[in-house]
Structures are given as C-alpha cells and as structure tokens.
Structure 1
Amino acid sequence: MGKPQNGIGLVRLSDLRENDLGEDGQGKGLVDQEQRIRDHGKAIGWKITRVIVENDIASSDGKKRGVSAFKRRKVTLADGRTEWRTFRPGFRECLALLMKGDHDGLLALDLDRVVRDPRDLEDLIDVAEQSKMPVESVTGSLRLATDADVTMARVMVAVANKASRDTARRVSAARQRQALAGEYGGGKRPYGFDVDGRTVLPEEAAVIVECSERLVQGASLRSMALDLRQRGLVTVAGAPWRAEGLREVLLRPRNAGRIVYRGEEIADAPWPPIVPLETFRAVQRILTDPGRVINPGAAPKWLGSRLYHCGICTPADLSVRVTCHIRVGSRIPAYRCGNQAHLIRSMEHTDKYVVGAVVARLMRDDAADLLVPAKPDVDVAGLRAEAKAIRGNLNELAADKALGLIDRAQLLAGTTKAKARLAEIDGELQGAVVESPLTPLIGAEDVQAVWDSLPLSHKRLVLAELMTVRILPSGKRGRGFDPSTVEIRWNKQMPESK
C-alpha cells in the first residue's frame, strides 16, 4: 500500500459536554484530536483531506444528544446490506467512502476512538481487506496491515468491549440503588422540588396541584400555561411556561410520590406526594390518551371565547352548536359568530352580564347543592386499599416468574387483569378526589372577590360547569346593550328563589 494522499481523519469524543466547548463552539478534545491526527499524518507522509467528526454531546442536564456506543439500529453497511449495528453515522460514512474509493486511507487517534463493538471492527476489517487501503491510529493500537494486526485488534476490542459492559452494568446497578433510595440522579432539579430532588418546595408544589386539578376538571394546557405567564411564574430554567413544558412537569410520577427507574414506576418515594395518586393517574390518562383532541392555535384570552354560542347558528334545542370568537382587529373587543359575520356583541357588556349571573347564583343559600359528587357512594379508602393490594400482587407475580414458579403466559395473563382493574379503580376514584371548579366559590364570604382572583382558565371551567350561553340576535337598533339578547341556561335545574 502506498502513502495515502486523500486520507480520512476520524475524530470521536464519547462524552462531549457543553461546558467543554471552546469559544468557537467546537469541543476542546475534538480540536486536539484533529490536530494530533494531522500532525501524525504529515510525519508519516499521509495527506489528510477530510476530517469526519463523530461524538456524543451531553448537555448540562446530563442527557445525551448524539450517537451511542451501545444502542443499535438498522444501518446500511458498506456493501449495501442492512444489519443491526451500533448507531455510528460518522463511522459508517468513513467505511462507505473507503469502499467506493473516494478516499485512500483512514487515520484515527486510537483504536477505542474508532471501534468498541466487535461487529463494527469486523465491518472495518472487511472494508480494509476489500479496498486494500491502510487503516491506522496515531498511538499504534490500530493497524490492519497483516493477519497479526487483525488478530491483535480483535483481542483488544473484545477486552475493551467487556470493560465497557462491566462499567455500564455497575452504573446501572448504582442508579437503581439511587432510585430506590429516592435520590435524585442529577441535572436540573425537577420543578416542585429542591436540588436534592426530595425536598418539596411549597410554592411550586401549589402550582403542580392547581394545574393537575384544573386539567382533570377540563382546562387545557395552553390556557393554564397562559395563566402562569400572566402571573409572572417561570420554569426551573427561568423560561416562560409553555404547554409542552407544563405537560412534561404534570406527567412526572415524582409528583405522586412514585419512584421511577428506566421509565417504570418501581416503588413509593420517601417524600410526601404533591398530588394524590388518583389525581395523577387521571392526569396521565388525559395527557397520554391517543384520541385526545388538541385545539390548534393560542389559548383563549377571553372569558366567553369558544364557550358562548351564536344564537342564530345554534338552535334552541342545541342540536348544532356554533361558538363565538373575539373579532380580530376591532378597536373595541366584541364576540362574533365563528361561522359568519351576522352576529356581533360587545365583549365587555356580555361578560359583565354573564359574570353577574354567575356570582348571583353562587351567593344563593342552595349553592352548595351544586357540589353534589357525581359518585357519592365511592368507597375511597376501600378502593385505595384494593389498588395497593393489586400492586403488591404484581410484584409477587414478577418474583414468581423470576423463581420459575409460573411461566410467561401466566405472568402476562395475571398482569393484564391486574392492570385492567387498576385502570377501573383509578377511574372510580377520579370523581371522588378531584374537587369541582366551583369549590373555592361556594360559601365564600365575598364571592365576587374570589371570582376576581381566579385565573381565566378557572373562570372558564366555572362557566362550563354552570351554564350554556347563547347570544341572540338583537331586534332593536341603537348603541345600548340589551340583556334579553343573552340567553343563560343553567346546566343544573335551580329551584325558584323564596
């Protein structure tokens, strides 16, 4: 083999962190590797015309952003075959370029910078033998010129691979012990908890409780995120709240006092739950439901937007419902029909009239009747005890399978039945543990003051719980507001006032 004059330099750093980046945004270790490869190539008469960089980038939260030394995917080999291999796009590009003859040699810093998996090494050996091109390293640990070189490379990769797997196993065991002890794995602290991951922060916990309950009551993520932004609340990173970030926070089992390991809940946590487990299960069902309808666009910024109905398009029997929206671009905000411009009504006067009706209704002596639970006969304590027993039985099933006392089919059958019953229990408990959005208003000394203090998304829940509003066409001309053109139908029949 001659001295390559169109060689490839392969640069790899397996744990590049953001704080290791230089002023030019490049990893300091990568820059050093490239320089050493170029210097060595020049010293031995190689000309490096292309450098391919492959790295795992770990951000400050400890999460990998790049490729992996162990995770496998289907990849296309240099000869066109598709096989399961470690995900190494840069390495695969090198092999493809050598196989096609676009380049005439490969130079890296060291053997472990090129391959750690024996199957990857065999792919490299195949390409080196078929292309008849040199493959070497700066340190001399990689060289595939002779049978002895190939044998030594195989031995060294096998040893390095075992060492990597041993390390991975010890790290995994340590993380499992850490999880069972309730210790936090590092990175940015989870919202609602201090940096130790266990101490609950009351102010942030209150936000989690509020948003979890309002989600189950029917509020949207967008509307709640808008409320949080308007109140000046921010995430752990100091950023304004968005629906996606709020969803991630509400779906954390940590909120319900559950420990997670490798994506699975494994035990109760040593810290007190922020939200009841039943509420959290309801949040999970809502946010992970594949059939969940997500409204496009921004969250409603007005009390009656998408709640009030057009009295022309929506008949008295409500068989067809067309809601009203705020007229865009108007100097004075007004509700208009969502289908046509045939009905427009002042936002200020309409909302004032509707809110007056709500406050008056909730000030009545019989307002507490609105809080009759949908399932007053739910045995909360009994259902919780049953759920706890089922979870215990699931752990026993797993232990029996490990000991060979039951087979896989029996394990799957028992697990399926247990999880189905747990889902039923969660559904029954939901109605008993999540309060009505009317709760803070019922019995309040100053209903109007409490109403004014509620965020918009909560006010909209109250409206949806209490009434259906139709904005009727006005038969009079003039600038005055006619209350008779706003029809309010109470969702729960009210007795006549005495």
Structure 2
Amino acid sequence: MTLFRSGATYCRISKDDEADEDGVTRQSEDTAALADRRDIPVTDTHRFVDNDVSATQGKRREDYERLMATVREGGIDVIIVYALGRLWRNRKERAEGIEVLRKHGVSVLCVKGPELDLSTAVGRMLAGVVGEFDTFEVEQMSERQQRETLQRVERGVAPTGPRAFGYTPDGMSVIDSEAAEVRKMFDALLAGATLSGIATELNGRGVANRNGKEWTHNAVRYLLQNERYAGLRSYGGSDYAGKWDAIVSEDVWRQAVAVLTDGARKTSPGPARKWLLSGIARCGVCGETVTSAQRGPKSSAKTGPDRIYKCRGPVKHLARNAVPIDTLIAGTEPGEPLGVVLLLLMREDAARLLLDDQRPDMEALTAKAGTLRARLKNMTAAFADDDEADAVEFAGAVRRVRERLSEVEGQMSSPARTAVLGDLVGAEDVVAAWEALPLDRQRAVVDTLMTVTIHPAGPGRRAFDPRSVVVAPKL
C-alpha cells in the first residue's frame, strides 16, 4: 500500500436541481473517510468541489482548474475522488490530466475504483481503460436522452424545466392573466416599443416575472424569441408543432424574431432614447442620422436645457434647435398647428396607411407550414416502416421539404404596418391617442410613416424655417 505525504480531494456532481449540494456532500464525506483510513493528510485548502457541472455541457470547472494548478506547484502527491469519472469528463480532459499527473508524480485514489499510480505505464493504461468505460456510459446516456427528447418533441409534449411565464408548470395549459401580458409584450414590440421600454412598463404596473421579480431587458428578449408561445418547439434546427395552446400566432412570433434579429436594430440595453428624432432623422448634408445633445447651460428650471439635434458623423454638419423641429413633426399644442404626423393620421383616407402591398397571406402561409411539417413527420414514419426504402432518396426528399418549409417560414417574418399604426388610425381622438403613447412607440410611428431630413439653418441667428426640414412620406 502506497504511503502518501499530502493529498487532495475532488468532488463533482453533474446536476443539482435542488441546489442543496447533497450529492457533493456525500462525495466529500466518502473521500474524507478514505483519506482517514489511509492516513493521508488533507488540508482544508486542498478540498476541491465543483457542484452542478455537467460532463457533457462543457461548463468551466473552477475548482478542477485550481486542483491542477496545485498539482503543477508540487503541493500534493495523490488526488482522492469518489470515482474516476468524477475527475475527468471526456477523453480530451483525461489525456491532458493523465499527462500532468504523470509529469508531477501524482496518483489517483478512488473510493469506488482502483488506486492509479500515473507515474507508471500500467497505471496510465488502467486510467485510460477505466476512463473509456466512464466515457462510454456518459455518451450512451446522452444518446438515450437525445432520442427521448426527440420522441417527446415529435409527440408535441411541452419542454421540461422552469415554468414558462404564461403557462402552468407542466407547460400544457395557459394561465390567462399571464398570457394576456405576453400578448401585450408581443404587440408592443411589433408596434415599435423597445425591450427596455417593455420591461419598464411591466415593472411600473407591478407585473412580476415567473420568479416574482422585476423584468429585465434580457428577460423580455428571451420570452419574445421563445417559440413555445407560438405552439412550437425547436429541435435539431427544425420546428415541431406542440399540443399545448399557443398564446400568439406563429405569424406574430416570427415577426417578433425578425425584429429582434434585425442587424440594423440597436441591441444594447443601454439608456433608452429620450427624444423623438434622435437616431431617426437624417443630416441633409451627409445622410448620417442625428443625435440629441444639450447646448449651453440650463436656461431655467422651467424651460430646461437648450436641446439640439446634431449630425452624428465625424464632421458635424449641423446643430439645430430641437424643439421647433419636434413641434413641426408631432406638435399637439392647443391653438398651434398640428404636427405632420397628426395631420397624416387624421386624414379621411388614413386607413390606406395600413396597407402593405408586400404583406403575404399569413393564414395561407401558416396552413402551408403546418402541412409541410406534417409531411415531414409522415415521411419519417413511412421510412421507418419500409425496410426496402432507399435512404439516399429519403434524405433528398426530406431536404427538399425542409427547404420549402424554410422558405415559407421566412415569408412569415414580414412585419405589419398595422402593428405600429393600428391603434391610431381611426381613433376617435387621434391627438389623445398619440399623446398616450410612450416615446418609443411615437418614434416607431414616425419611422414607419416618413423620412425626416434636417438641413443646416445657415449662418447667424435666424427664425426657424420649416422648409429646412424635409419630410418624405414612406408610402
């Protein structure tokens, strides 16, 4: 029996759903007991634990890294583990770890397994053989889990895991009050609201997330991109129909995903826009968008700072007083002319603003997508039952159907003008409806209806000339 001068214990459990650390506690007790029986000294600084770190998901193991650093420093001559599979998770880690332990003369002692002297060829061979059995078990379990998951997906069973906001814990039934909030979130996004704006609005009304906490920018994004709300489940790059009730249509969900994945969309959760035209209006000289800034000291507590729009480009082609420009575009002051946006929305033929000649027939596309998904499922079942089926022909047919399905799903991502303008066009009081909108919604309406170009005012102080702001309708 080998006598060791200084040992270390290492414990790892792959999954700790309850976060109670019972698994690693049992391993710690067993490894400590083995150290006592073998009379191996183990200091508190040489006890290493990685809790809830899977063998297959590749999470970083901080304590394992500390353990290997201790080995390289020459601080220990044996590592005590419950089983060899707790120390190394895959072939790459095992090969690298064996080489490090060989170089520094460190052995491995297992509670459930052999003592491995890795300074010898026999010890390294045994470590490799035992490790291969561990890897085989992990990979076989992973294959079973993947097959089980695919079967559940094909049967339309809801995903397991944390409860989704809007659904009961089993994922199959809708919670009406939460589902109503989910629909509002999708509607707000498609109407031009920002993720931060949606989160702020929810928190302002005291609507908590599934954990009873406030909403964040990222939590709203995750919800809106989750296909579960459209009654779908993604697996292996494909979408499958679920048997639970959808909260929004597939059309609405795909529009939301298209908005959130648009490369031109600002994705930073930083400060929200504070002014109507910043980032929307363009410089009349270079075409860059304008930004808003404060010029000079605050004039008074009542009027606030002198706010300007200025060119965002490297050469500042213009710096214009923002107030009269905002008034020209969206003014609602009693007794003063209404802004261009209000005049458009109040026209007798304002309903034409909702027309979108490029808008595909969503009902037909949704039906076509469902037909193609059913065809894929039937093709798979028929192939499985036909012992003489040609695998190459089957793969080619599946590929063609998937390509058609992908094309249909892409068409369903087209945005709708109605989402942005619907609650304004035809409103009994357009001015009141406009004033009730949050700023991000007002900005979306402006951006949908028109292109605003601001030209330099010219040298010296002069009265505001509306002709220096060019409005081009997007119709």
What residue number does 1:13 align with?
A: 13
Q: 1:370 Cα shift?
A: 1.8
Q: Label 1:32 to 1:388 Cα distance change in 2 as closer, same or farther (>3 A).
A: closer
What residue number does 1:352 align with?
A: 327
1:418 equivalent to 2:401? Answer yes
- Greater Cα shift, 468-477 or 152-161: 152-161
2: CA distance, partners of 1:107 / 1:462: 66
SS of aligned partner of 1:437: helix
SS of aligned partner of 1:360: helix
Question: May I ask how many residue pairs the two structures share in their alignment?
Answer: 451
Q: 1:354 Cα shift?
A: 1.6
Deviations 1:197-236 (A, max 9, x none): 2333445444544544565566654555555566665533
Q: What one-letter code is carried by the residue in structure 2 that aligns with 1:424?
A: E
What residue number does 2:242 align with?
A: 268
- TM-score of the aligned structures, taking structure 2 as reference length: 0.74
What residue number does 1:80 align with?
A: none
Q: 1:256 Cα shift?
A: 0.8
Q: Label 1:414 to 1:490 Cα distance change in 2 as closer, same or farther (>3 A).
A: same
Which of 368, 393, 400 is residue 375 of structure 2 equivalent to?
393
SS of aligned partner of 2:220: helix
1:51 equivalent to 2:53? Answer no
Q: What one-letter code is carried by the residue in structure 1 that aligns with 2:351?
A: A
Q: 1:345 Cα shift?
A: 1.0
Which of 432, 442, 452 is residue 459 of structure 1 equivalent to?
442
2:309–2:321 CA contact under 8 A, matched in 1 = yes
Q: Label 1:124 to 1:240 Cα distance change in 2 as closer, same or farther (>3 A).
A: closer
What residue number does 2:334 align with?
A: none
1:282 equivalent to 2:276? Answer no
1:222–1:299 CA contact under 8 A, matched in 2 = yes
1:224–1:457 CA contact under 8 A, matched in 2 = no
Q: What one-letter code is carried by the residue in structure 2 that aligns with 1:44?
A: R
Alignment of 1:116-131 (within 5 A): none
What residue number does 1:469 align with?
A: 452
1:10–1:114 CA contact under 8 A, matched in 2 = yes
Alignment of 1:215-234 (within 5 A): 215=189, 221-222=195-196, 224-225=198-199, 228=202, 233-234=207-208
Deviations 1:441-497 (A, max 9, x none): 1111111121122232221121112222234455797797665554433334xxxxx
SS of aligned partner of 1:48: coil
Alignment of 1:33-48 (within 5 A): 33-34=27-28, 37-38=31-32, 40-48=34-42
1:324–1:335 CA contact under 8 A, matched in 2 = no
Q: Label 1:228 to 1:457 Cα distance change in 2 as closer, same or farther (>3 A).
A: farther
Q: Percent sequence identity over matched residues?
A: 26
What residue number does 1:255 align with?
A: 229
Which of 277, 284, 293 is residue 327 of structure 1 equivalent to?
293
Q: Label 1:226 to 1:263 Cα distance change in 2 as closer, same or farther (>3 A).
A: farther
Q: Label 1:233 to 1:456 Cα distance change in 2 as closer, same or farther (>3 A).
A: farther
2:342–2:430 CA contact under 8 A, matched in 1 = yes
2: CA distance, partners of 1:254 / 1:178: 14
RMSD: 4.6
Q: Label 1:90 to 1:382 Cα distance change in 2 as closer, same or farther (>3 A).
A: same
What residue number does 1:69 align with?
A: 55
1:435 equivalent to 2:421? Answer no
Q: Label 1:303 to 1:269 Cα distance change in 2 as closer, same or farther (>3 A).
A: farther
Deviations 1:350-398 (A, max 9, x none): 323322322222122111122222247x554443333322222222343
2:50–2:62 CA contact under 8 A, matched in 1 = no
1:226–1:299 CA contact under 8 A, matched in 2 = no
Q: Label 1:344 to 1:35 Cα distance change in 2 as closer, same or farther (>3 A).
A: same
Q: What one-letter code is carried by the residue in structure 2 that aligns with 1:7?
A: G
